[in-house]
Every structure is written in structure tokens, then in C-alpha cells.
Structure 1
Amino acid sequence: MLPQQYSEMTDQQARQLCQQLRVQMIQTVSKTGGHLASSLGVVEILVAVHRVFDLDVDRLVFDVGHQCYAHKLLTGRGSAMNTLRKFGGLSGFPKPHESRADAFIAGHASNSVSVALGMARARTVNKEDYSVLALIGDGALTGGLAFEGLADAGSSGEPLIVILNDNGMSITKSVGGVAAHLSQQRLKPQYLHLKKLYRSVTGKNAVGQAVYKVTHRAKKMVKDAILGYSMFEDMGFTYLGPVDGHDVSYLTRMLRYAKELNCPVLLHVKTVKGKGYTPAERQPDQFHGVGPFDVEKGLAVSKAGGTNFSSVFGETMCQLAEEKPELVAITAAMRLGTGLDEFARRYPQRFFDVGIAEGHAVAMTGGLAKQGALPVFAVYSTFLQRGYDMLIHDMALQNLHGILAVDRAGLVGEDGETHHGVFDVGFLSTVPGMQILCPASFAELRAMLRHAVCEMTGPVAIRYPRGGEGQWTQMAGVDGTTVIQEGTDVTLVAYGTMVDQVLQAAQLLEQRGHSVAVVKLNSIRPLDMGPIRRLCEKTGRLIVAEECNDSGCVGRTIISELALAGVPVKAALVNLGDQFVPQGSVSQLREMTGIDGAGICQKAMEVIANG
């Protein structure tokens, strides 16, 4: 069926289409991996949206966007779904370069209403005619940005529709059977038709408008005494709901009505995460982000790779908590992902999950530290970006001893450019007093976390990658700079697991007859320049390899320090450059960007060849 034919579907055809979409998504994700439970939960919502709106013209803004698989199928990308999240294939998130029906890139949470309001206001300014919708989940409402957008959108008067996908958290409070009965009555077609007719009649003149205001105020007083729906209406929205999010026929009618209202509307939809696939319904967390799995058994095709940096962090936190009663852990809706599930189980009074609210988490970390607690905030690098102001204002300004456990630092693979942790080196380095440790092995992570908790003062960040350790499994130190090997022809410098890549490059260079010095940075701030200066005076050539963007990279600091110290050196930087890196496996992306062992070797050969 073509997208332009969705509006002509019968309700029965729509229900059949929903079933077909679920089957195809389950089959696809079982092979490619991806975000399954969230995508299964919004199938009827997306089919209803496509029945009512033309998304080549109308704008649908996803929040987070990992629930967009049905939308991709509905917009002609079914034949490419086998490439989902693969290098050069379909993204797991909305991408306008894939389809005009993808209105906006989405990868982080809580911004959809703000973006949608911007689009609606642009429509008004440009005197154009199209609809604007935002699809936001109850989880994203834990982020303060969502409420900033809602407050402005509701008071703006701009026609737009916010679809609140409520699949877990109770947003509203109803009291007893009377409230449930009234909520059903106010959603009946007869009621909605009468409400629309009443608004139309009373809006024709000043007298009618005055009557509407009085009766509306009286109705609201009665309703607020019985129903708990006043929050969104107080913001200025016409509230519709709650609605069964798996009744595609009724959802379609409600969206048509919401479109006709021509004002800010919030449609509250109740859904089941993982709907239509029993294993995902039973364990939505396990099927939120999942690798390839056996559809019949609902089990992963291959078991997880065992110990990783996140699990080592969690284990060490539990050990430290036994010794330090003041130690507390904070996460922003990433308890499992950051390895804190066991800490949360064993120390529930010292564990705080603040929801998708990284800025709040950083500020709270400052408050905890100020009053004598030992706070450790575990956060993905890509999400820490949203706490930058609080790092400066609420931690560094008072030199408070809070620890940032920066997980997923560097390239993360198939989630792509919205999730790579490649900016934290640059922005953390701008914060006065910030100390940044970079473990390359599990042993170093354990030692650095203990050192940060027990011996350091002021703000500390410990950045480590997704997944397990590589070639380097040793313990070089908890800070400073370590010389792994001496050499006379060229000096290679790296930190974190990029040490593996420079060691590979060193082997390739040695096979070509070159003597290579290898330097490992345990800390990139403060930066111990002594060993680097000594080796560069000997070799006269320097390569700094990093898995981060060029702007604000450590290599530029090193070259600047050498120049200021009057050390002549021929230098080259090997990093991700000034670009957003696409999706793909980490090894593919390293090869593409030239930061793997072969790429570092090639760059070093060029420097050596130039004298």
C-alpha cells in the first residue's frame, strides 16, 4: 500500500496493517538488533497518524526517535529494513536524508514539543498550511525541557498536537468510578461534536465569547473537583484522553478531531510497551535495546560478552559503598545501562534515578557534595552534554567533589551520530578545575574510581568506553603519563582504549624498521607533559591518536604546550575530525575515519617521510 492510500483504508485494513507491521519489525530486529519494545508499542499510533496526516507535508516530530520503525515501514523503506543500524544502512532513528516524512533528527529525549512549536510558529510566520505533531513518551516527560516546551506551546495558541504515549508512568490522577465514567463520556463522538459546535457558535461574536468564558470556567471548576486532568489544560492545551493506544480505529477518529480543533491539543494515549510480542511485553526492559534474538524462544542468539566497563564500574561502586557510607550513586534513567542495578538493589537509600534529567542530576550532585556526601553520577557521554551549564555553575565554581562516571565515551556503534560520546573531551576540558581520568583496562577503572572517591578533591570525570577491554589489560597508573615503550623515530600518544590502536600501529611501524615510542595518558587533565616533552626532543616526531572530535582534542593542547616550551616537533593529529560520525560497528568506523592501527601507522609514515 502506498502512503497516499492510508487515508482510504478501512478500520479492518488498518488493524491488519498493524499486525503485518509487528510481524515485520520482530523479524527484522531479530536479525539486526535494535529498539524493539518501544517500536511495538506505538504501531497503532503511527498507523492512525498516517491515516489522518500526509507526512510529506505535515510534520511529525519524534521524541528520542527509537520508536520509529513502523514509521519507516509506512514510508516505503521496508525493502531496506535488513540494513537497519548497519554501516551505510537505515538509521535506527528518524533521519530527514532518508525520507521527507522524517521531519527532524531525533536521538535525545524531551525536545519534541519545543521543536514542534518552532515548526508551528514558522508555519504561521510563513503563512503556510500544514499540521504539526509531537510524539512524546511519559519517560521523556521526566526531562525539564519537555515542560518548558509544553508551557510555551500551550500558551502560544498555535495549532499543534502533542501525542503523549503513556506506557508506564501514571501522568494523571483519577478518583474512583465516577472519574472513569466521565473520562469515557467526554471522549464519545457525540460529546466531541457538541463541544466543537458549541465553540463554533459562541466564538462568532463578543457576547458568545463572554458566555463561553463563563461556562468554561464553571465546567472547569466542576471537572477539576473530580478529575485530575487539569495540569495540561492549565498550560493551555485542550486535553483528550486517556485513550486506548491500541485501538487504531478510535485513535484515527481522535486525531481527526484534534486536527479540527485548530489549537494546542494534548492527546493522552495509553499503550503497552512490547505490544504484540509476548517476550517483549513480559520483559520490556530486556527488549528496549536488543541484539539479534530467536523469535520463537525470545532469547538472544548469542550471550552477552560478559564483563564490560559498565559492569566493572558497578561492582567497584558496591565495594566502595561498603567502605564509604557517605557514597551515593546517581543515574538518569540508565540504571541497567550504567551497571548500577546491583548497587540499587543493595543500597536503595543511597541510589537515585532522577529520570531523563541530566542537568538536574549534575546540579543535585553538586548539592550532595556540598553537604558532605560522596556523589558519583553515572551517565552516558552523549547525555552528559545536557549538563554542561551545571558542571560549571553547580560543581566547578565551588570546586565540589563530585565524580562523573562518563560511560560510552568514544564511538558507540550502531546508534550513530546522536549517541557517539565524542564531545566530552572538548567540553569537559573547558571547565576550570575539572580532572579527567581515562582508564584503558578494567584494572585501571577499578583503581581510578577508588582513587577518585578516596583520594581526590574537586570535580572528577572518569571516561570509559562501551563494551570490554582490548589488548591492553594492564595497570599503568591512576593519573599522570606512562611511557609504555621507548623509541627514537616517532612518538605515539593515546589514552583510554585507543592505546590498543597505537600499540598495533607501533607493531606495523616496527615491521617497517622504525623505532617507536608509545605514551599512554592516564589523565588528560591535568596533563603531565614531562615524558612527552622528553620523547619528542629525542624523536622529533609526534602522533596523537584520539577517539574524539578535533575541536578541543588533547592533541592540540600537547602541540601547543610543546611549542610554548620551544620543543621543535613535526606533529600530526589522528582523530575524528570536524564531522558527525555515522552508524556502524566501532571497527568499521575507526577504519573509515583512519583512527585504527593501520590509519595511525599510515599517518606516522607520512610524518616520517616528510623529514
Structure 2
Amino acid sequence: MRPAPRPARTPQAADADGDIPVTSPRWLPQALRELSPREMAVVAEQIRAFLIENVCRNGGHLDVNLGVVELTLALHRIFDSPRDALVFDTGHQAYVHKLITGRAADFGRLRRRGGLSGYPSRSESVHDWVENSHASTSISYADGLSAAFAAKGETGRWAVAVIGDGALTGGLAWEALNNLGAAGGRRAVVVLNDNGRSHAPTSGALATHLAALTDSSDSPDVRETHNIFTSLGFTYLGPVDGHDLGAVEAALREARAADGPVLVHAITAQGKGHPPAEADDADCPHAAGAVDEATGAARDAPAPTWTDVFGGELAELGAGRADVVAVCAAMLRPTGLGAFADRFPERTFDVGMAEQHAVCSAAGMSMGGLHPVVAVYATFLSRAFDQLLMDAALHRLPVTLVLDRAGITGPDGPSHHGMWDHTLFSMVPGLRLAAPRDAATLRALLAEALADQDGPTALRFPKGAVGVDVPAVGRLGQVDLLSAVGRDVLLVGVGAMAGPCLSARDDLAARGLEVTVAAPRWALPLPEELVQLAARHRLAVTVEDSSRAGGVGSALAQACTDAVVSTPVHTLGLPRTFLTHGSRSELLAATGLDAGGIATAVLLAWNARRR
């Protein structure tokens, strides 16, 4: 059963955060259908102005949403949401959809804790069918929805998938096209939003084919009868100017009248109506913070990030290692590979939004004598788990995975928190996982990973500023000691949790506890030195910015049991749930992973042990 959505709110004068006035109830779907073309043009400009003002001030995905204004308006005028299911692939281009389904008044808290999600959200509105922000899923959803409608005899309902040309590079999209194209009289429409890029310009054979379809030198007959979509069983309509509302509506009406699956090919421009976005021919940001509306420049000077440190160090290591190559899945600069690509373009491979192919292709590169570094957001790596397990690890291939945005990522919400990778990796034989705590250990561990020729390696680090280095006062094997060794509590800070653990130690010391803070350099396999340290203390507490299941804490508890070490092990980590959106600091505090929460949990565990 779908959760009860928040009640839709009619746009009103302004919200409590002072957003620009929203004065027209004409933004709601039923009212939109009654407007003239001239009135619709005014609405489109109003919505663009609203997006530019709000997203520039508060942050979010601007470029792609400016590019789908007319397309989204047309969809809501031709189809009857939510009776007809509108599914937006990846989901970050659904801002216009949110505005015209009653959520404009809440837009000032977009992506903030307690506010609107930056993606479709089933708890927000009945108009949101899917909370998808992992790419290439929409056509599969539409295939299943249209099958369900047909099975129930609901022949008047349509399933519509809106997918970008970047997301169409994913293998799942082609599995869905293969099935839906052979589905006969299904009421399904695929709207291909072709803007020539995802998080970077779209590349590969598909991009070449789409470009050929839009070539004005080809006659309409050639386009309609000789393309990959018609070969797969779709009626092909287009290409159509995605910013010409009348043309888009005409194509969608024709699609709705067709017997069987239809693909509408719409050509749009990302950033339409905002000069800084329109002029941006470099990699667009995945999720921008607040920017200056006139220039598009970030309002706050960005501090060096974990991504920056990784990218710079990989480029330096690559200068001395001709066998090192970089692989990404359509997110070259967001994952830090820009510096490497600038210096070594022939050794950089962007495979599009296809994480499975990225890892399997990297396995092949490794078989051929290269050492590939696959840079990917932690949350997306789960899509390629089978390739990691059976194609890289089974063959003991030296492939290095670099997982950006590990742990709590912040405003992108439940689909983007990188909290599953450590749990999944714990099941992979022979894989080594590093957990750098600062810039210095990130550089050192990346070099160690590239030197490992015995199997796959991985590094995980969070989103955001890297902060100051946390020096070790000693080392025991693969474990860095960050404080003097006490006798009461062993506090194990995994990765970026080392800093908060040191702060918690100061609080606990003031309460009379002797606390040792340790940080494993390699979290998998579990360093045996952690068991030795645990045996020297009365309580061990692990703190990790990942799921408690399958993490360092559970591994340490099992290892202590196996070694007949009686020290109790208490595990702090992320709960087994889908965490909402909010800032990283807010969510870490809410899950007890800030310094205060750690100190409180240690005291509770210590007092419980004494009872």
C-alpha cells in the first residue's frame, strides 16, 4: 500500500522562508488544461523565474529542470496525473512536476530536513509514483505499470516514462525497451528528453545515433522507419522541439492515440532561460549549492573536499604509472577525475550511466595488464555488486574502486546516502576496503591500493570538506592510534568518524574514563590488531558512518568471540532504514554519530557493563 501523501497545497502569496510570490492558481493541472497557448507561455516563464530565484538561493538541480518546463507542462495537459502514471527517470528533473502538483508553497525548504525532497516522493504527493533517483529505471516501471493496467482492464490509463539521453545509456533501460517494444497494445509512452548530456556530454554509439535522428538532412521517412526504436517495436515520433509547447502537445496527443508503445523524441536545452546555465559547456554539477543568480558562481568559496584530494593525488600517481587508467559512469568531474582526464585523456574512460559495465570493463582492463580506478558514488556501486563479486573478485583482479559520497551525503536523501557499500563489500572474498580519516591517509591509502596486485581494493570517503588532518601518535599494524592507550574504553573511529571520536574522548576523559581512540587504515579485512586492543580494554565501541550490519563493529564482535576475548563490543552506526534528506551534520547528530551522541552512547554502554 502506498503511504498517505502530504496534502497538496495551493500556491499562495509567499511562504515563510520568503520565496518569491506565487500568485497564480493556474499552475495546477486542471487549470493548466484550460489556458490558451499565450497564457501557457506566460506560465512557462513564471515557472522559470521561480526556479532560478529559488534554486540559486537555496541550492539544488537547476539546469535540467529549466530544460523540461514546457515538456512537463505538456505532459500534465495531455495526460491525467495521477490516474495516468508519470515516471521521471533519475528524478532530479521533477521540480516543475512538483510545482504544478500543489507543492510550490513548500519549495523554499526543498532538500532541507523536514522539507520537500529533491526527487519525487510518494509520501509527498499521489502524483509521485516512484522515488527514483538511480538512473535508467523509468521504462521498466512504465512497462510494469502498463502491464498492471492492462491486466486489470483499465484500458484508459497510460504509463509515461520520461528519460534523458544520459540515463538511456544504462543497461536496464535497454532491457525494458526490449520487453516493452514487444508488448503489443500496451498504453505506454516513453518520452526521450534529449539534451545531449547527463552530468557530462553524452558519449558513445547511442549519442551518435540520436544525433543522426536529429540531422535535418535526413527526411522524416528515413527517421521514422530506420532507427533503433522502431526496430524494437516502438512507434517513433519526432524529433520535436521540446521548448515548443504546441509541438510537444501535438506529439503527445498522437502518442496517446497510438495502438501500442510509443517513443516521443524531444530535443531540449539544459539551463533554458538562464544565461549562466545555457553557457555552461563543461560538466554540470550533479547538485549545486547556492549560487549567484547573475553569474552562476558559487556564493561561498568552496573548501577543499575529499573529492578534490582524491582527484589531485590520482593525477600525480598516474604520472608515474602508465598502467593506471580511470573509469567513471557519466560523472567524470563530480567524482574527481577531471584532473586525471585533463592530463591523460587517452587513459580516461567514461562509459555513461552504466555502473555494471564500468566494473566489468575495468575487470577486462585489469586482465589486459592495466590497473583501473573506477570512481563512483557509493550509493551507485550497489548496482554493480555482481560484477565486483563475480567478474573482479572471483578472478582476483587488481581493480581499485573509489567510492565518493560514502555514508551520510545530506540533501539528496535516502537513495543517495552511501550506507550500503561496506555491508556488501564484507561478503566479497579477497577485497580490501580502506577507510581514510583525512587527506593525508587518503593519499597514502590510494597509493597502497594501486600497489596491491592481489585482488580488488576500495576506498570510501564522505561528501564535503576534508577538514584538518588527524595525526596518529602511534601505529599497531594496520591500526593507527590517535591517542594514548588507556584501559577502560577502546573507541574505534572508522574513516571520517575518527575526528568526532577524538572529541568524544575529551568529554569522556572529563568524566574519569580512560579512552583509547584507534582508527583502522584498512577496514576489510578486519585488522587483527583491533582484537588485541579490545582485549586490553573493558569495553570496545566502534563508530562508523555506514550500516551497522556487516561493518567493523559486527566483524570485531565476531572476531573477539572467535578469539575468546570477553570484552563486550558496542556498535554505533547508521540504522537499518532509509534515512531522509537533510544536512550531513543534522543527520549525523540525529543518528547519534556526532561527538555528543558518541560520548552519551559510550557512557550508557559503560554503565550497562558495570551493572
Structure 2 length normalisation: TM-score?
0.90
The answer to which of 65-74 and 463-472 deviates more is 463-472
Alignment CA distance shift 1:287-1:546 (3 Å): closer
Amino acid at match of 2:394: L
Amino acid at match of 1:317: L
Kindly indicate whether residue 485 of structure 2 is the aligned counterpart of residue 458 of structure 1. no
CA distance in 2, matches of 1:72, 1:536: 52
Counterpart residue number, 2:191:
163
5 Å matches for 1:225-374? 229-283=226-280, 285-286=283-284, 289-305=287-303, 307-374=304-371
Pairwise CA distance, 1:557: 1.1
**Structure showing greater Rg:** 1
5 Å matches for 1:7-406? 7-128=33-154, 129-157=156-184, 158-168=186-196, 169=202, 170=207, 171-174=210-213, 179=218, 182-183=219-220, 223-224=221-222, 229-283=226-280, 285-286=283-284, 289-305=287-303, 307-406=304-403
SS of 2:61's partner is: coil
SS of 1:57's partner is: coil
CA distance in 2, matches of 1:478, 1:414: 38
Alignment CA distance shift 1:383-1:443 (3 Å): same
Contact 1:480–1:521 (Cα < 8 Å) also in 2 = yes
Counterpart residue number, 2:21:
none
CA distance in 1, matches of 2:139, 2:364: 30
Alignment CA distance shift 1:478-1:281 (3 Å): farther
1:277-327 per-position Cα deviation (integer Å, ceiling 9, x unaligned): 11111116446532112213332211222x222121111112122211111
Pairwise CA distance, 1:455: 4.3
Kindly indicate whether residue 526 of structure 2 is the aligned counterpart of residue 498 of structure 1. no
CA distance in 2, matches of 1:288, 1:534: 44
CA distance in 2, matches of 1:478, 1:294: 49
5 Å matches for 1:528-607? 528-530=527-529, 532-607=530-605
Alignment CA distance shift 1:167-1:33 (3 Å): same
Counterpart residue number, 2:10:
none
Alignment CA distance shift 1:173-1:471 (3 Å): closer
Counterpart residue number, 1:211:
none
Alignment CA distance shift 1:515-1:479 (3 Å): closer
Pairwise CA distance, 1:474: 2.7
Amino acid at match of 1:41: G
SS of 1:400's partner is: coil
Amino acid at match of 2:478: G
Alignment CA distance shift 1:44-1:288 (3 Å): farther
SS of 2:105's partner is: helix
1:496-537 per-position Cα deviation (integer Å, ceiling 9, x unaligned): 11111211111111111211111111111121133x333333
1:522-579 per-position Cα deviation (integer Å, ceiling 9, x unaligned): 111121133x333333322121111111221221111111112111123321111111
Counterpart residue number, 1:480:
478
SS of 1:328's partner is: strand
Alignment CA distance shift 1:175-1:422 (3 Å): closer
Amino acid at match of 1:153: L
Pairwise CA distance, 1:471: 5.0
Contact 2:85–2:129 (Cα < 8 Å) also in 1 = yes
Contact 2:164–2:193 (Cα < 8 Å) also in 1 = yes
Amino acid at match of 1:106: N
Counterpart residue number, 2:15:
none
Amino acid at match of 1:314: G
1:406-445 per-position Cα deviation (integer Å, ceiling 9, x unaligned): 1111111111111111100000111111011111111111
CA distance in 1, matches of 2:376, 2:492: 27
Amino acid at match of 1:173: A
Gaps of 5+ in 2: 1-25, 197-201
Alignment CA distance shift 1:363-1:461 (3 Å): same
Kindly indicate whether residue 452 of structure 2 is the aligned counterpart of residue 424 of structure 1. no
Alignment CA distance shift 1:176-1:108 (3 Å): closer
CA distance in 2, matches of 1:73, 1:161: 23
Amino acid at match of 2:161: A
SS of 1:545's partner is: strand
Identity among equivalent pairs (%) = 39
The answer to which of 470-479 and 262-271 deviates more is 470-479
Contact 1:114–1:149 (Cα < 8 Å) also in 2 = yes
CA distance in 1, matches of 2:214, 2:274: 32
Counterpart residue number, 1:203:
none
Provide the aligned length of Structure 1 versus Structure 2: 567
1:108-133 per-position Cα deviation (integer Å, ceiling 9, x unaligned): 11111001111111111222241110
Pairwise CA distance, 1:10: 1.3
Contact 1:517–1:535 (Cα < 8 Å) also in 2 = no
SS of 1:398's partner is: coil
SS of 1:92's partner is: coil
Amino acid at match of 1:594: G
Pairwise CA distance, 1:3: 2.4
Amino acid at match of 1:498: M
Contact 1:448–1:478 (Cα < 8 Å) also in 2 = no
Contact 2:238–2:251 (Cα < 8 Å) also in 1 = no
Pairwise CA distance, 1:246: 0.2
Q: Which runs of 4+ in 1 moved over 3 A?
A: 174-178, 226-229, 284-288, 470-473, 475-479
Counterpart residue number, 1:522:
521
CA distance in 1, matches of 2:334, 2:379: 13
Counterpart residue number, 2:404:
407
Amino acid at match of 1:138: D
Pairwise CA distance, 1:473: 3.3
Counterpart residue number, 1:212:
none
Pairwise CA distance, 1:178: 5.5
Alignment CA distance shift 1:546-1:332 (3 Å): same
Amino acid at match of 1:26: I
Gaps of 5+ in 1: 184-222
Alignment CA distance shift 1:241-1:368 (3 Å): same
CA distance in 1, matches of 2:413, 2:476: 31
CA distance in 2, matches of 1:281, 1:353: 23
